[in-house]
Amino acid sequence: MIPPQSPSSDTKRPSGRERRQWNRARAEWPVMLQLEDGAHEAKIRDVSRGGVCFFLDRPVPEMTVLQMDFELPVASGVRRIRGQGVVVRCERISQALEHYEIAVFTQEMAEPDRDTIETYVKARPEGQEA
C-alpha cells in the first residue's frame, strides 16, 4: 500500500479572483453590523451575491457570525439589504492604521436581496463604483 502524499509546496492555490464563484462590484456605502458587543458602522469595499467586503476600525475574528444591513442604490432609489454572514477573512490594512479589511460570506439573505445585488454587480464592470 502506498501512503498518501501531502500536497507539494509548489502546488498553487487559486488566487482570489479564480476562487470566487460570484463577480463583485466596488462600493463605498455604510453598512451597519451587529456584533456581540453591539452595533458598528463600517464602509463597504465591494459586494457580490455571495458576500461583502468592508473596512472596520477593529478586528473581527474569522468564523464570527454577524448581521449586516445596508442600502443598495437601485434605479428607483435605494433598497435595504439585510443578511447574516460569517467572517472568512480579517486583515489589518497597514501597520500605521488601526483599520481592517473584513470579508464576509453571506449565509442567510432573502433571495430577492441576492438578486438585487447580482443585478447591481452585472450593471458595473469589476472595479467600477456606483
Report the C-alpha gap between 39 and 8 in whole angstroms: 44
- pLDDT at residue number 97: 85
Through-space distance between the first and last CA atoms of the chain, rounded to whole angstroms: 58
How much helix, strand and coil, in percent to the nearest 5, is found in the chain? 10, 50, 40
The CATH H-level superfamily of 20-122 is predicted glycosyltransferase like domains (2.40.10.220)
Q: How many helices (H) and strands (E) does the chain have?
A: 2, 7
- pLDDT at residue number 60: 97
pLDDT tens by residue, 53-75:
999 999 999 999 999 999 999 98
Between 5 and 23, residue with greater pLDDT = 23
